[in-house]
Amino acid sequence: MQRGLAVIGILFGILTIVAGTRVLTGRDPGYVVFFPLLVYNTVMGFAYIGAGAVAWRSLPRGRNAAAAIFVLNLLALIAIWILYSSGAAVAVDSLRAMTLRTIVWLALSTGLAWSGRSS
């Protein structure tokens, strides 16, 4: 289970980098983009890959890395929710995307923690 979760983290990171890089290089994603969040998510794609690689080799460190990413994503989600609620230029698509990222890393963190208990 540990290695499967690690692969998911790595693949999610690769997809995040590819999607972010496409938009950063000028491709229109078809929705309104909140630029600071785009940059954050693209950079975090590298952290996702790193966390997945760490999780592959070390369950405790991987669990900690996944938990740290979850917390960072949750803080980013809260920040853009506050901006969105105050009427700033944050699209609802940004909230949805950040919610997805936060849920994925909550699931990976929880899965790694559960994997550690069952072994």
Q: Do 104 and 47 touch, CB atoms closer than 8 A? A: no
Structure confidence at residue 91 (pLDDT): 83
**Positive or negative, the Cα torsion across 58, 97, 72, 117?**
negative
Q: Which domain holds residue 103?
A: 2-118
Token pair for residue 12?
Answer: 């999610």
Report field, pTM of the whole predicted structure over 0.75: yes
More confident position, 106 or 87: 106
**Positive or negative, the Cα torsion across 81, 85, 87, 93?**
positive
More confident position, 91 or 118: 91
